[in-house]
A and B are shown apart, each in its own frame.
Chain A
Amino acid sequence: MTDSERTFGKGKKIMAIIINLDVMMAKRKVGLTELAKEVDITLANLSILKNNKAKAVRFSTLEAVCKALQCQPGDILEYVEDENST
């Protein structure tokens, strides 16, 4: 399975790393626009991240998100066993 198949869908394959940004944002009561401004990324990019469409995250972005949401990387990143792996 290629990365693009995994991310952009062929059938029901899902990305193994899930971003639980919306959960943390709800806990901290931070909106998307506000967070994008604090993290200094565009709203479009933050949406990509939030909707699990991103292929990679820079450490600098992760650091900025954790600082803005006062949380640990583990609070927003979750590993889910791939459905199609053995």
Chain B
Amino acid sequence: MKKETVIIFTKFLLDFMYFAGIVVTVLLLVPGLVERVMAFFDFHDFEGRYTEILVIYFVLGILAVLILGELRKMFRTVLKEDCFVKDNVVSLQRMGTYSFIIAVICMLRTVLYLTIAMLVLVLVFVIAGLFSKVLAFVFDRAVEYKLENDLTI
């Protein structure tokens, strides 16, 4: 029962973050909306670099949604009880690539507007990228072992 609750919660969280991510990313394109939100929170930074930083956040949003999409795909295979498949290896590789791209884009952002938080994010996403790539290799081996085991009569 406890395991089922965790599974349900994880699925809900993945789905929520995926669709919320799409909504938020798309909302960035609404003219003037972000400015209004920034004014509401009395945040006046990014002056002079507003458009560039908005574009950066839009691209980051797309990449984050792509990562969540891959995670949802992987979780579906877990629910089907057949998760040691090549598709998941590809998903992990992609997630690693997206994470590295996010790190690079965050670095770009620090050039425009330097904050410690963004530098920390760069490090976090580099580590996340490495984590995904290494896990992809491990998963690849696991898939081979499973195949060998399945074909051992």
Chain A residues packing against B (C-beta within 8 Å): 3-4, 7, 41, 45-46, 48-49, 53-58, 61
Nearest-Cβ distance from residue A68 to partner chain B, whole angstroms: 14
Tell me if B153 and A49 are in contact (CB < 8 A): yes
Tell me if B153 and A54 are in contact (CB < 8 A): yes
> CA separation between A45 and B148, bound complex, in Å?
13
Tell me if B152 and A55 are in contact (CB < 8 A): yes
Chain B residues packing against A (C-beta within 8 Å): 144, 147-148, 151-153
Chain B: which residue is nearest A49 at the CB level? B153
Beyond known contacts A49-B153, A55-B148, A56-B153: 15 more, CB 8 A cutoff: A3-B148, A4-B144, A41-B153, A48-B151, A48-B153, A53-B151, A54-B153, A55-B147, A55-B152, A56-B148, A56-B151, A57-B152, A58-B152, A58-B153, A61-B153
8 residue pairs, one from A and one from B, having the closest CB atoms: A55-B151, A56-B152, A49-B153, A54-B153, A45-B153, A55-B148, A54-B151, A61-B153
Q: Tally the A-B contacts, defined by beta carbons under 8 Å.
A: 27
> CA separation between A4 and B144, bound complex, in Å?
9
> CA separation between A48 and B152, bound complex, in Å?
9
Sample (12) of A-B pairs whose CB atoms are under 8 Å apart:
A4-B144, A45-B153, A46-B153, A48-B153, A49-B153, A53-B151, A54-B152, A54-B153, A56-B151, A56-B153, A58-B152, A58-B153
> CA separation between A53 and B151, bound complex, in Å?
7
Nearest-Cβ distance from residue A55 to partner chain B, whole angstroms: 4
Contacts of A56 in B (CB 8 A): 148, 151-153
Chain A: which residue is nearest B144 at the CB level? A4
Chain B: which residue is nearest A46 at the CB level? B153
> CA separation between A46 and B153, bound complex, in Å?
8
Contacts of B153 in A (CB 8 A): 41, 45-46, 48-49, 54, 56-58, 61
Contacts of B151 in A (CB 8 A): 7, 48, 53-56
> CA separation between A49 and B45, bound complex, in Å?
69
